[in-house]
Chain A
Amino acid sequence: MLDVADKKTFRSHAMKRNMYLSTLLLLSFALMSGLAGVARGADVPAALPDPSKPPPKDLVLRDDAKCTRCHDEADNPRVLAIGKTRHGVQADKRTPTCTSCHGDSDSHINKPENVKERPKADRQFGKDSTTPVGERNQACLTCHQGGKRIHWSMAAHATNDVSCTACHQVHSRRDPVRDKVAQSEVCFACHKEQRAQLSRPSRHPIKEGKVVCSDCHNPHGGAGEKMLARDNVNDTCYQCHAEKRGPFVRSHQPVQEDCSICHNPHGTTNPNLLKVRPPFLCQSCHEPTTHHATAPVGSAVGGGNPSTPQAVIMARGCVNCHTNIHGSNNPADGAGRGFRR
């Protein structure tokens, strides 16, 4: 059996791929080996503080002793794990203290005698938080503003009371929403329809982590519709499908207007993410002249030659003939506007 890829370019691909990877690995390895020693010496922190010897020392963040004297790895989330994250880099003077996010929490730290239960921290971010979402988010937005978050205040997530911590795990080195494989599961916590569509046979490689929700959407808001990563649907699709952009000498109007007229990017049972199988999709727009309103015939033909009623639904459907359906740059005269060549 011939495998085209193996036959044609496998050797050169494999060599090129290994060259890329090996170069990257070696470069990284060399840099890290040379500099790791410098880092390693600084990596080992002070030993655990003895609680009997006041004052307690900070463990991870600046001024965290007032928190870490009580909170440790037994807590959920594991508070010390913030040290593994970019928030835990004290050399970066912009990084927060515990109270930058959770508030001074005086009554939490020093429980008033007249209350039974210790009051909660001023700002809590967990599932049972009673802190208003806006206030929770402000703790993040104080530092994380501008850039790709410029449109946050207008974003659907903001107006639907989605908190930053509904998606982000701040105390985790591996924030699932920033991991290519895990991200979709975070989004699917709310976007159930898209979760189901991902199980359809025609889909983007989202399960494999090769296309992620944030490749197409900016969850922090954008100037365009649907919180898209680019200003409109087509420009978002052209990031990976620039061959459809044209303009072409023969152009197909809906292709130029909006890819989502015909495609559902989240998954379908129809090939090529088509919302509806041809001919039904094509018949949604085209006048019933010539063969356009042909009633399809899908039954087995028993080895006979196909006919037009079969060709409009079997195999590639209408695209069996109208091959260059996204547009053609063939200027040769003749053969009409059927995108056939």
Chain B
Amino acid sequence: MNAMMKNFLPLSALATAVLATAGTAAAADVDEVTKFSKPESTVSVGIGHVSRDNQRFGQYTGLNKEGAYGLLDVDFVRRNEETGTWFTLSGRNLGFDNRELRFEHNRQGDWGYYVDFSQIPRYDPYTVTTTLSGIGTTTQTIGGSATAQEYHLKTERDILTIGLNKELSNNLNFQVGFRNEKKDGERLWGQGTFGAWRFLTDPIDQTTRQIDATLNYTTERLQLSGGYYGTSFENRNNLLNVVGSTLFAGSNQMALPPDNESHQFHLAGRYSFSNTTHGTFKLAYGRSTQNEAYPTAPVTGAPSSLDGRIDTTLVQAGLSARPTPKLSLRANVRYENRDDKTPVFRYFPSQNTATSTNDGTNETRDIKTTAGLLEAAYRLPNDFRLTGGVDYVEKKRNSPPVRSVSYRETTDETTVRAELRRSISETLTGALSLIHSNRTGSDFLLNTLVNGTIYSNQVAPLHLADRDRDMLRLTLNWTPTEPLSVGVRLDAARDEYTGRGISVVDQTVRKGDAQNYSLDVAYSFSDKVQGTAWYSVNNTSLESQQCGALVADVCTPGTQQVWGSHVRNLADTFGLGLRAKLSRKLELSADLTESKVRDEMLLNSIAGTAVNPIDVINTKVTSLKLSAKYALQRDSGVRVMYSYDRYRTDDWTWANWNYSPADGGTTVLQNPNQKVNFIGVSYYYRWW
């Protein structure tokens, strides 16, 4: 008996108890109208079997070990028709590691509360073989085990959510929800420096709590919603102690995420000036803080904690109007100010040397975002609609006095778009959109060293660079005959980046492309048999150039290595589905999806030393799910499920990797060809 079954048995005993009471209810001779119009309860109990150990199929379900698993789902509903009171208990996957259970009790239109429990496991898809000891703890010893042992890393989230609501009057209701999410386990981590790399694990023992309380006021014309949203993050591990030789200064103490919290008050509203003109707004003020005592000793005279504080103000207002039956207008403006009020202190004085790229202080990050939108849509003859719009986003950032990365304080992007849509037609609907956007901004700041010497200024970072983007989007939905429908969607986008223009070689990202094409077909063979098929091609690529400049602002092609990269991700995916109700007793369903992904990293030498080609990585994921449901009686039956899952990859990024000998020879590997079969049989019973 495996661990899963041990967990499953006490739950199934309780489910049997629920079922026993249900029997009493079901014994009553329930008429047809009740069956058609009253909510029914269902319990489903069974057993399933996983054919072999795997790392992908059961990654988020816990079905990762060969063996038997309990199948248990419960959906218990009781409704008092006279009072409108509901009791529901729903449980899903109770025999698996990703089980969830929810109890809800409410009097509709008056009050309600719920308790919800959910687990999310995540099994790391790699098998680790290492001599590291202390995995999962805050003290880990390099080579601490005499012999290498095998580990499967895992994290798990246990989430408990409680909520209640109350209708205070016809216009006023109150809702509050509290969520407690505990996450623990361990995940891949490490440390390294030039020529030496070590495997470590990140020991996770964290709790995130959220509370969300809102008061809603609703009348025909005015709606308001205001409240409080608070979160807190608590980490019981704030430092990982690494026992072993020193890899670099301070490598024996790795910081883990600090506790932090946030509080936000918000008020949103909507007012209908008329039946066709509506205004919306949102005001919010939030503060997030982080003031946990530092896990290691800072320099003398430094504060013992960061006293980090970020205040965020949001103001949003929108207006939608239909001044004539054919013309619709929409306008929106949004301003968000992230004001980082964290005190600045020179924590790292040893970095504050004349030729350093940082002055040793902590860096604050202010971001002011102003966004606007104007849109007009006009209804043309023959059910065509033409929409035109302009979007504008401006971001203003503060800048640290000394930087190692190129930076500009302001970027602004204007997007112009036009769309022709045919919304209603007997057989054909569709839309064609053209979008052009241009991002530019203030001058890039000149990177200098602490002593004022101009340093490296060759790169326009991806999210700050001038960019021209063109997009084309076409959607078509065609129903040539009653049982057949066809959907086509074509998206194509092209980005052109402009460099700094300082270096003789414009470096980093030069160009981006994306194409997403999909075809969907649905066919109803009869009222009781429907089939679907779809195919998608997704192709994204990014072209860059690099100059291996070891000194600032100097790129001499030939003297320095200049190389280009064309990183491309090409995926084609298809899906087939069938739903068939073959008789009053037998229902079948089948779903097949397959995704083939090709990751290319093409390198080319532009000047200087040659570059080595990088192997393509191919990944193929296949999933087949079959299900048959057979009614033994009107209220009960059996369900047989079969799944086949195959994961294939020639990903060499871990397979070719060797940690340094000092690490003890850790390997992190995945099975490149994983095939798993799962079969399950369950009995279901339903009652009213």
Q: Which residues of B contact A207 (CB under 8 A)?
A: 60
Nearest CB in chain B to that of A285: its residue: B461
B546 touches which of A80, A193, A283 (Cβ 8 Å): A283
Whether A283 contacts B225 by the Cβ 8 Å rule is no
Nearest CB in chain A to that of B303: its residue: A331
B206 on interface, CB distance cutoff 8 Å? yes
- In the assembled complex, the CB of A63 is this many whole angstroms from the nearest CB of chain B, namely 15
Looking at A280, A290, A328, which has the most chain B CB atoms within 10 Å of its CB?
Answer: A280
B269 touches which of A148, A150, A201 (Cβ 8 Å): A150
Dominant SS at the A interface? loop
Q: Which residues of A contact B25 (CB under 8 A)?
A: 36, 40
Whether A201 contacts B647 by the Cβ 8 Å rule is yes
Whether B39 contacts A147 by the Cβ 8 Å rule is no
Cα-based distance from A181 to B421 in the complex (angstroms): 32
Q: Which residues of A contact B518 (CB under 8 A)?
A: 192-193, 195-196
Cα-based distance from A211 to B157 in the complex (angstroms): 12
Whether A192 contacts B653 by the Cβ 8 Å rule is no
B470 on interface, CB distance cutoff 8 Å? no
Given A248-B290, A299-B656, A321-B191, check contact A280 B544 (CB 8 Å): yes
Q: Which residues of A contact B677 (CB under 8 A)?
A: none
Q: Which residues of A contact B547 (CB under 8 A)?
A: 288, 293
Nearest CB in chain A to that of B294: its residue: A331
Q: Which residues of B contact A105 (CB under 8 A)?
A: none
Q: Which residues of B contact A283 (CB under 8 A)?
A: 508, 544, 546
Q: Which residues of B contact A44 (CB under 8 A)?
A: 28, 30-31, 34
Q: Which residues of A contact B362 (CB under 8 A)?
A: 248-251
A50 on interface, CB distance cutoff 8 Å? no
Q: Which residues of A contact B525 (CB under 8 A)?
A: none
Whether B192 contacts A151 by the Cβ 8 Å rule is no
Nearest CB in chain A to that of B125: its residue: A201
A67 on interface, CB distance cutoff 8 Å? no
Cα-based distance from A88 to B33 in the complex (angstroms): 13
A311 on interface, CB distance cutoff 8 Å? yes
- In the assembled complex, the CB of A212 is this many whole angstroms from the nearest CB of chain B, namely 11
Q: Which residues of A contact B617 (CB under 8 A)?
A: 269
A53 on interface, CB distance cutoff 8 Å? no
Given A32-B89, A48-B31, A269-B597, check contact A294 B548 (CB 8 Å): yes
Whether A81 contacts B76 by the Cβ 8 Å rule is no
B636 on interface, CB distance cutoff 8 Å? no
Cα-based distance from A297 to B615 in the complex (angstroms): 10
Cα-based distance from A329 to B14 in the complex (angstroms): 47
Whether B614 contacts A253 by the Cβ 8 Å rule is no
Cα-based distance from A211 to B59 in the complex (angstroms): 14
Whether A90 contacts B295 by the Cβ 8 Å rule is no
Cα-based distance from A122 to B569 in the complex (angstroms): 49
Q: Which residues of A contact B210 (CB under 8 A)?
A: 239
Given A240-B208, A306-B657, check contact A287 B262 (CB 8 Å): no
Given A197-B538, A332-B250, check contact A32 B37 (CB 8 Å): no
- In the assembled complex, the CB of B578 is this many whole angstroms from the nearest CB of chain A, namely 15
Cα-based distance from A337 to B363 in the complex (angstroms): 11
Given A20-B117, A29-B17, check contact A247 B109 (CB 8 Å): no
Q: Which residues of B contact A100 (CB under 8 A)?
A: none
B11 touches which of A1, A25, A154, A208 (Cβ 8 Å): A25
Q: Which residues of A contact B79 (CB under 8 A)?
A: 39, 43, 89
Cα-based distance from A245 to B660 in the complex (angstroms): 32
A117 on interface, CB distance cutoff 8 Å? no
B405 on interface, CB distance cutoff 8 Å? yes
B178 on interface, CB distance cutoff 8 Å? no
A243 touches which of B257, B306, B649 (Cβ 8 Å): B257
B416 on interface, CB distance cutoff 8 Å? no
B428 on interface, CB distance cutoff 8 Å? no
Q: Mark B222-240, 1 if CB is under 8 A from A, else 0.
A: 0111000001110100100
Cα-based distance from A330 to B38 in the complex (angstroms): 60
Dominant SS at the B interface? strand
A4 touches which of B151, B302, B516, B652 (Cβ 8 Å): B151
Whether A223 contacts B270 by the Cβ 8 Å rule is no
B347 touches which of A42, A251, A331 (Cβ 8 Å): A331
Given A21-B99, A197-B538, A257-B463, check contact A146 B231 (CB 8 Å): no
A113 on interface, CB distance cutoff 8 Å? no
B483 on interface, CB distance cutoff 8 Å? no
Cα-based distance from A336 to B404 in the complex (angstroms): 11
A315 touches which of B404, B565, B668 (Cβ 8 Å): B668
Q: Which residues of A contact B117 (CB under 8 A)?
A: 20-21, 24
Interface residues of A in 292-335 (CB under 8 A from B): 293-301, 303-308, 310-311, 313-317, 320-321, 323-324, 326, 328-335
Q: Which residues of A contact B377 (CB under 8 A)?
A: 159
Cα-based distance from A174 to B350 in the complex (angstroms): 63
B149 on interface, CB distance cutoff 8 Å? yes
- In the assembled complex, the CB of A22 is this many whole angstroms from the nearest CB of chain B, namely 6
Q: Which residues of A contact B595 (CB under 8 A)?
A: 196, 199-200
Interface residues of A in 125-162 (CB under 8 A from B): 130, 132-133, 145-148, 150-151, 153-154, 159, 161
Q: Mark B74-105, 1 if CB is under 8 A from A, else 0.
A: 00101111111101010110100011110101
Q: Which residues of A contact B260 (CB under 8 A)?
A: 242, 245-247
Given A240-B208, A283-B544, A307-B195, check contact A21 B306 (CB 8 Å): no
Given A147-B225, A283-B546, A287-B456, check contact A18 B109 (CB 8 Å): no
Nearest CB in chain B to that of A60: its residue: B37
Interface residues of B in 383-421 (CB under 8 A from A): 387, 395, 397, 404-407, 421
B213 on interface, CB distance cutoff 8 Å? no
Given A8-B136, A22-B10, check contact A284 B28 (CB 8 Å): no
Nearest CB in chain A to that of B365: its residue: A256
Nearest CB in chain A to that of B151: its residue: A4
Whether B423 contacts A161 by the Cβ 8 Å rule is yes
Whether B84 contacts A6 by the Cβ 8 Å rule is no
Given A150-B270, A321-B197, check contact A196 B33 (CB 8 Å): no
Whether A24 contacts B536 by the Cβ 8 Å rule is no
Q: Mark B646-676, 1 if CB is under 8 A from A, else 0.
A: 0101001111111111000000100000000
Given A84-B37, A193-B516, check contact A254 B290 (CB 8 Å): no
Cα-based distance from A253 to B567 in the complex (angstroms): 24
B486 on interface, CB distance cutoff 8 Å? no
A306 touches which of B200, B290, B551, B658 (Cβ 8 Å): B658
Whether B318 contacts A151 by the Cβ 8 Å rule is yes
B214 on interface, CB distance cutoff 8 Å? yes
Whether A88 contacts B280 by the Cβ 8 Å rule is no
Nearest CB in chain A to that of B562: its residue: A293
Whether A306 contacts B197 by the Cβ 8 Å rule is yes
Cα-based distance from A329 to B237 in the complex (angstroms): 13
Nearest CB in chain B to that of A322: its residue: B192
Whether B509 contacts A89 by the Cβ 8 Å rule is no
Whether A89 contacts B619 by the Cβ 8 Å rule is no
Whether B268 contacts A150 by the Cβ 8 Å rule is yes
Which stretch of B44-52, B329-337, B582-590, B627-635 is in the interface?
A: B329-337
B499 on interface, CB distance cutoff 8 Å? no
Given A195-B536, A196-B516, A306-B660, check contact A288 B3 (CB 8 Å): no
Whether B223 contacts A146 by the Cβ 8 Å rule is yes
Q: Mark A7-51, 1 if CB is under 8 A from B, else 0.
A: 011100110111011101111110111011011101111111000
- In the assembled complex, the CB of A77 is this many whole angstroms from the nearest CB of chain B, namely 12
- In the assembled complex, the CB of A292 is this many whole angstroms from the nearest CB of chain B, namely 8
Cα-based distance from A130 to B429 in the complex (angstroms): 13
Nearest CB in chain A to that of B598: its residue: A269
Nearest CB in chain B to that of A260: its residue: B463
Given contacts A242-B232, A313-B614, A330-B253, 20 further A-B contacts (CB under 8 A): A21-B101, A32-B87, A33-B21, A130-B424, A147-B216, A148-B225, A151-B268, A192-B516, A201-B125, A243-B235, A247-B288, A280-B567, A287-B447, A293-B546, A298-B653, A306-B660, A324-B254, A329-B290, A334-B249, A341-B255
A sample of 6 inter-chain contacts (CB < 8 A) reads A27-B103, A159-B375, A180-B100, A286-B405, A315-B654, A333-B299
